[in-house]
Amino acid sequence: MQDNAPIVWRPTEAQVAAANVTRLMAKAGVDSYEALHAWSVADIGRFWDTCLEDLGLGWYEPYTTTYDDSAGFPWTRWFVGGKTNIVMNCLDRHVAGGRGDEPAVLGEGDDGATNARTFAELKHEVGQVAGLLRELGIQPGDRIGIYMPMVPEVVVALFACFQVGAVAIPVFSAFGSEALAVRLNDAQAVALFTADGGLRRGKPAAIKPNADAAVAEVPSLKHQIVLRRTGQDTPMQEGRDLWWDEAITPRESDPRTEVLDAEAPAMILYTSGPTGKPKGTVHTHAGCLAQMNKELGYAFDVKPGDRFFWLTDIGWMMGPWEMIGVTSLGAALLVYEGAPNWPNPDRLFEVVARHRITQLGLAPTAIRLLRRAGDDLAEGHDLSALRLIGSTGEPWDPESWQWCFDHVGGGRCPIINISGGTELVGCHLSPLPTTALKNSTLRGPGLGMDVDCFDDEGNPIRGGLGHLVLKQPAPSLTKSFLGDDARYLATYFERFGDTIWYHGDWAFVDDDGFWFLHGRSDDTINVAGKRVGPAEVEAAIVEHALASEAAAIGVPDELKGADVVAFVVLKPDVAESEALRQALSDQVVAHLGKTLRPKAIRFVDALPKTRSAKIVRGVIKRRYLGEDVGDLASVENPAAVEAIAASR
């Protein structure tokens, strides 16, 4: 636990004065973070009204009621009576307002090729694709998959769906055909954007064959629009498949943006559990705009002229989150196809310097990977434009957080460590650029988010591990699960009742009111009655100078109920030894006590991760125990899963 840890960063007076959130504080009549958050949840209707007016969101018709929870928290409706569209806010109003020549999307491929689109150019191309969709008979409410590499055209495809009122289904381009087919069938998709292939670490990787295999299993799907990315030989089915350049480039741009109800669905984002059918979370135009603008505008202080880059994929919620939020606020986002450490270990910092990135976001695992190359990795790159660093996806270990703060941000950039989920396309917890920070903290609840930390009986707890919960609704919370209301209610409202959203994260609030996360509650390890999150064990191991990464799991034990097994990746050129194994085990004891000494520490060359760099502990545990590993569609390096069984 980080109780009573010291403050390691405070904003300067200039940073506070320039921050967007300072303007909101003046409107609220408060002068501190604590007072601002209290104001934001005392009357959530008043907060969202003030927030959206301050950020300048546009409406075709203004809403008459901010929210209606008369049917209960799980079924709350937002911005009732309002008419809007994501594209009107992200493109149309900027071009109409005279900002069409400013950059909107920057692109850098795995091969180093760069390109850019202004707001006017992006609007023109989105209109071309929208015109094609209408010609193909796409209607508002139809579902369209997006299965593409991270190139600028993925933004075009997403916004074209929004412009015609279609519902986008972003899917990781690394997913196999079975995982793609399940999602497209569940949503009854009628069309799919895809590509011949993508580039990854200098090599072309085919995408269209997987798309074809999936589409063959989806009776509702009639059209595929295929981007030429790699130029590799690609079969096309006449009457179904269209090349992007041939179908889109010659056509006029359709300027019509559909006028939609605030609650009109914009996206279906799928979450993958360890077993069972993926859950389709449903997100609306106004809900996305409200939450994403609030978070990017206040937590990440995005302003016109900024250049924002999050190391992500369209299939992770951070992809649509940045695409919508950044452009709505009039800034530019960088879409990056490659890996952070190819063809050289410092590629990420080359990219940040070359594009003069002002806000950089990445997962803690990415930092753990990069720091293996040495403390001087970022030296020699001009990162002076960087103002903020963002992170999400998993808990930090203190050593990696400090390395990022010192060597990437130069001790001057706050780490805006956020946590939420696909089911709300946003954050429960989030610092502000005006708040003091401790190592690894998330500082506290996001604005407008009435978050608490409960014990098992549903009482608030401070100074101990508890359940992260939400006590009032928010605009971006999923509209149930697609076609499965019962599963939605059981997932979020069964544990503490229908007035409390149970999120499934372990949280800890220290004596100073700073929040920390300790992983998913279903990952919790209970050893002889002592409950610990795997992140705490992992952080203790990684503190050792020779350990690079770790993943901890709980395994059954007849006497203690569970025991700890840890899988450790050592730093380059470090030899495995029993002495090192013992030293790492002793390190856990020093931090957490003898009860939590690992039963075993096993050395591996790599940990299984998703493409967004999240360690898949559930998969590791099931493989170690010899159980069915479940859906591996999200695992980027499946060979690492098999290596678990053979680990030393």
Question: Which comes out higher in pLDDT, residue 278 or 469?
Answer: 469
Strands 197-200 and 223-227: what pairing? unpaired
Task: Note the pLDDT of residue 275.
Answer: 44
The 10s digit of each residue's pLDDT in 546-589 is: 999 999 999 998 777 889 999 999 999 899 999 999 999 998 88
User: What type of residue is 468?
Assistant: L
CATH number at residue 228: 3.40.50.980
pLDDT, mean over the chain: 94
Distance CA 129, CA 87 (A): 13
Three-state secondary structure of 176-234: CHHHHHHHHHHHCCCEEEEECEEEECCEEEECHHHHHHHHCCCCCCCEEEEECCCCCCC
The 10s digit of each residue's pLDDT in 499-545 is: 999 999 989 999 999 999 987 777 778 787 676 778 778 888 998 99
Task: Note the pLDDT of residue 80.
Answer: 98
Phi, psi of 438 (to 5 degrees): -105, 160
The 10s digit of each residue's pLDDT in 602-636 is: 999 999 987 667 788 888 998 999 888 876 777 88
Global confidence as pTM: 0.88
In a domain, residue 612? The reply is yes
In a domain, residue 426? The reply is no
Phi, psi of 145 (to 5 degrees): -80, 150
Task: Note the pLDDT of residue 610.
Answer: 78
Distance CA 320, CA 154 (A): 10
Three-state secondary structure of 386-443: CCEEEECCCCCCHHHHHHHHHHHCCCCCCEEECEEEHHHCEEEECCCCCCCEECCCCE
Residue 274 has pLDDT above 50, yes or no: no
In a domain, residue 56? The reply is no
pLDDT confidence tier of residue 144, bands split at 50, 70 and 90? very high
Of 215, 244, 261, at which residue does a domain stop? 261
In a domain, residue 130? The reply is yes
Task: Note the pLDDT of residue 560.
Answer: 79
- Can you tell me the mean pLDDT for 140-158? 98
Task: Note the pLDDT of residue 1.
Answer: 46
Q: Domain residues for 218?
A: 119-261
Task: Note the pLDDT of residue 529.
Answer: 66
Number of domains into which the chain is organized: 2
Of 261, 296, 328, at which residue does a domain stop? 261
Residue 491 · residue 63 · CB < 8 Å: no
Task: Note the pLDDT of residue 174.
Answer: 82
CATH number at residue 636: 3.30.300.30
Burial of 456: CB neighbours in 10 Å, binned 0-12, 13-18, 19+? exposed
In a domain, residue 604? The reply is yes
pLDDT confidence tier of residue 646, bands split at 50, 70 and 90? confident
The 10s digit of each residue's pLDDT in 456-511 is: 999 999 999 899 999 999 999 999 999 999 999 999 999 999 999 999 998 999 99
In a domain, residue 249? The reply is yes
Residue 399 · residue 376 · CB < 8 Å: no
Distance CA 474, CA 45 (A): 10
pLDDT confidence tier of residue 242, bands split at 50, 70 and 90? very high
In a domain, residue 620? The reply is yes
In a domain, residue 156? The reply is yes
Strands 114-118 and 103-108: what pairing? antiparallel
Residue 272 has pLDDT above 70, yes or no: no
Distance CA 66, CA 213 (A): 44
Of 240, 261, 282, at which residue does a domain stop? 261
